[in-house]
């Protein structure tokens, strides 16, 4: 019988690796053609990986939570298929040899790290916390004191500090202004920088312990929930959030949609919601004010060529995902409606591809679908702005006419624009959201679609 290498396939142009989240088959299980064998996650997208051949799972090469690179062999499938290369019979031996070589390399690396740590004057032995040799070595090389290391919140098992934790801390420390950076422990007197006494960076605040009482239910965060939580706190820590709000009269938009939606659905087989209309307005406003379509890169900004609009979509489990409409300014309203519906439907069915949630340059979130009038959305990094669409409500309003002012019923909503005040000043942030409002208020009720 031939043996088939089941590899991690290419998940998208910008995806180089994925995390194995679950095995859907166990060793010895029979696998049908195109049946899923394991599940992987890239950022917020979960994907099942199927097998091209019928057979039996005979070997797993990765465990759950392992990071797998695209092209890595994840499993060995025993199959009767005739079109597998003859050399596949030797797969198991080759994999075994590679595993031995890899183990030797890792052992040599670990010995080097351990020796390096042992030679260090700061061995972190006085800590009650466990640190791996790799973490200790990085801390030693970067001049991180034991006090600083103990203050780093760990994201690993049992709160352990991982490689990524220490590297993120070191990176953040290097980005701090000179006044707040001090060399590692030294008996010399405090060093003055620019006339001010240098102080060590403040350790991350420790969360207040939560009292758990009888009857309380503990619900662990899902993998996506953890990603969202970290992304939100990182954004608040990165961008200087400021908001501008504007009320918009969308009476013409509502009347036009009510007039054409049935004919549109009959002709295109798609529902015409308000979302593609708003997306078109945002894309046109970005073309008018392109400095909203930027990202911060150190001491410079990157002005994006493409207008890729993120569309926040709520999932059935309560989480949120942001599929991206690429080159939104190049779509007509029919194309925008079809793209919006397709992405929203596949987002709810967990069928998005990794590339479909990447490379957004500006985000729109519809908080009005839950009845909210306005809000203060958090920027989706590394973007510099996000627009929240409030609920459309019928309200009494003053209507100006040549004959005088009248009171009438109008359909109105609020647009809430959050933007990064490091690079977007109040004038630009306000003019941009005003441009969106003007586009909607001037909507042609006789527009053909």
pLDDT attached to residue 233: 94
Higher pLDDT, residue 107 or 318 = 318
Residue 149: the pLDDT is 82
In terms of Cβ atoms closer than 10 Å to its own Cβ (0-12, 13-18, 19+), residue 311 is buried
Please determine, for residue 416, whether its predicted confidence score (pLDDT) is greater than 90: yes
Phi, psi of 340 (to 5 degrees): -60, -50
Average pLDDT over residues 324-340: 96
- Of 50-59, 93-102, 324-333, the one with minimum mean pLDDT is 93-102
What is the spatial distance between Cα 84 and Cα 76, in angstroms, rounded to a whole number?
Answer: 13
Query: Which CA distances in Å does 85 have to 88, 92, 379?
Result: 6, 14, 50
Q: What is the pLDDT of residue 133?
A: 66
Mean pLDDT across 64-70: 88
The token pair that represents 32 in the structure block = 């049908």
Beta bridge partner(s), residue 297: 300
**Integer Cα distance of 77 and 84 in angstroms:** 11
User: CA 275 to CA 389: how far, in whole Å?
Assistant: 9
- What is residue 429's DSSP assignment? H
Q: How many residues does the chain have?
A: 449
How many Å is the Cα radius of gyration of the chain?
28
Give the integer Cα–Cα distance in Å for 139 and 165: 11
Q: Grade residue 283 by pLDDT with cuts at 50, 70 and 90.
A: very high
Using pLDDT thresholds of 50, 70 and 90, give the confidence band for residue 355: confident
Residue identified by tokens 């979130």 is 365
Q: What is the largest CA-CA distance in the chain?
A: 90
- What does the pLDDT read at residue 153? 82
Residue 194: predicted pLDDT: 39
pLDDT of residue 181: 43
With a CB cutoff of 8 Å and minimum separation 6, the contacts of 244 are 416, 417, 419, 426, 429, 430, 433
List Cα–Cα distances, 163 to 112, 132, 138, in angstroms.
17, 9, 8
Q: Is the pLDDT reported for residue 266 higher than 90?
A: yes
Model confidence at 440: pLDDT above 80: yes
152 in Cβ contact with 165 (< 8 Å): yes
**Mean of the per-residue pLDDT values for the chain?**
83
The confidence score (pLDDT) of residue 117 equals 44
How far apart are the C-alpha atoms of 212 and 210, rounded to whole Å? 6
pTM over the 0.85 mark: no
| DSSP H or E run through 170 | helix 163-175
Pairing of strands 320-321, 324-325: unpaired
**pLDDT tens column, 15-33:** 778 888 889 999 999 998 8
Q: What per-residue confidence (pLDDT) applies to 384?
A: 97
Say what the pLDDT of residue 14 is: 61
- Tell me the backbone φ, ψ of residue 377, rounded to 5 degrees: -65, 155
Query: How many angstroms from the chain centroid is the CA of residue 231?
Result: 7
Task: Provide mean pLDDT across the span 94-111.
Answer: 60
Alpha carbons 68 and 276: distance in angstroms, whole number: 37
Cβ proximity of 135 and 162 under 8 Å = yes
The H-or-E segment that residue 397 falls in is strand 393-401
Nearest to 389 by CA among 363, 409, 359, 421: 363
Which of 37-46, 183-192, 260-269, 403-412 shows the lowest per-residue confidence on average (mean pLDDT)?
183-192
> Worst-scoring range by mean pLDDT, 175-189, 202-216, 228-242, 299-313?
175-189
CA pair distance 156, 226, nearest whole angstrom: 13
Supply the pLDDT for residue 27: 92
Query: What pLDDT is stored for residue 172 in this prediction?
Result: 81
Residue 105 has pLDDT above 70, yes or no: no
> Once rounded to an integer, what is the mean pLDDT over residues 390-409?
94
Given this model, what pLDDT does residue 157 score? 57
Structure token pair of residue 232: 């939100």
DSSP 30-80: EE-TT-EEEEEEETTEEEEEE-SS-EEEEEE-S-TT-EEETT-EEEEEEE-
Of all residues in the chain, the percent with pLDDT exceeding 90 is 49
Question: Residue 15: what pLDDT?
Answer: 73
SS3 239: coil
Whether the CB-CB separation of 61 and 69 falls below 8 Å is answered with no
Residues 6+ apart with CB under 8 A from 106: none
- Written as six digits, the tokens of 84 are 């597998």
Class of residue 422 by CB neighbours under 10 A (exposed 0-12, middle 13-18, buried 19+)? middle
Residue pointed to by tokens 């990182």? 234
Mean local confidence (pLDDT), 142-171: 79
Residues in CB range of 76: below 8 A, 6 or more apart: 3, 4, 5, 6, 57, 58, 59, 61, 91, 92, 95
């Amino acid at each position: 019988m031939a043996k088939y290498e089941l590899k991690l396939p290419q998940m998208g142009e910008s995806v180089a690796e994925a995390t194995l989240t679950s095995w859907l088959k166990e060793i010895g299980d029979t696998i049908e053609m195109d049946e899923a064998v394991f599940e992987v996650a890239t950022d917020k997208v979960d994907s099942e990986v199927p097998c091209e051949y019928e057979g039996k799972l005979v070997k797993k090469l990765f465990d759950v939570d392992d990071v797998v690179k695209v092209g890595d062999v994840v499993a060995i499938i025993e199959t009767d298929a005739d079109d597998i290369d003859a050399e596949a019979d030797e797969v198991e031996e080759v994999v075994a040899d590679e595993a031995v070589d890899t183990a030797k390399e890792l052992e040599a690396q670990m010995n080097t790290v351990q020796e390096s740590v042992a030679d260090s004057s700061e061995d972190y032995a006085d800590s009650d916390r466990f640190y791996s040799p790799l973490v200790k070595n990085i801390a030693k090389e970067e001049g991180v004191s034991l006090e600083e290391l103990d203050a780093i919140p760990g994201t690993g098992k049992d709160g352990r500090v991982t490689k990524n934790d220490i590297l993120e801390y070191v990176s953040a420390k290097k980005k701090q202004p000179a006044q707040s950076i001090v060399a590692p422990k030294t008996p010399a007197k405090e060093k003055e920088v620019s006339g001010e006494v240098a102080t060590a960076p403040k350790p991350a605040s420790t969360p207040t312990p939560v009292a758990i009482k009888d009857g309380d239910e503990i619900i662990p965060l899902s993998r996506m929930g953890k990603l969202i939580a970290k992304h939100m706190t990182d954004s608040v820590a990165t961008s200087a959030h400021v908001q501008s709000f504007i009320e918009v009269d969308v009476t013409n938009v509502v009347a036009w949609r009510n007039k054409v939606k049935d004919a549109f659905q009959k002709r295109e087989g798609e529902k015409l919601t308000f979302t593609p209309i708003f997306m078109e307005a945002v894309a046109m406003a970005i073309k008018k004010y392109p400095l909203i379509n930027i990202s911060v890169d150190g001491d410079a900004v990157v002005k994006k060529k493409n207008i890729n609009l993120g569309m926040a979509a709520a999932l059935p489990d309560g989480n949120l995902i942001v599929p991206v409409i690429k080159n939104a300014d190049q779509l007509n309203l029919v194309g925008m409606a079809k793209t919006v519906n397709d992405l929203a439907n596949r987002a709810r069915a967990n069928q998005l591809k990794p590339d479909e949630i990447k490379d957004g340059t500006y985000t729109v979130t519809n908080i009005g679908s839950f009845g909210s009038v306005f809000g203060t959305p958090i920027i989706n990094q590394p973007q510099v702005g996000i627009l929240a669409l409030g609920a459309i409500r019928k309200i009494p309003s003053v209507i100006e006419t040549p004959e005088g002012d009248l009171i009438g019923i109008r359909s109105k909503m609020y647009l809430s624009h959050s933007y990064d005040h490091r690079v977007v000043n109040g004038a630009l942030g306000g003019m941009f959201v005003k441009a969106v409002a003007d586009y909607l208020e001037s909507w042609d009720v006789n527009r053909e679609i």
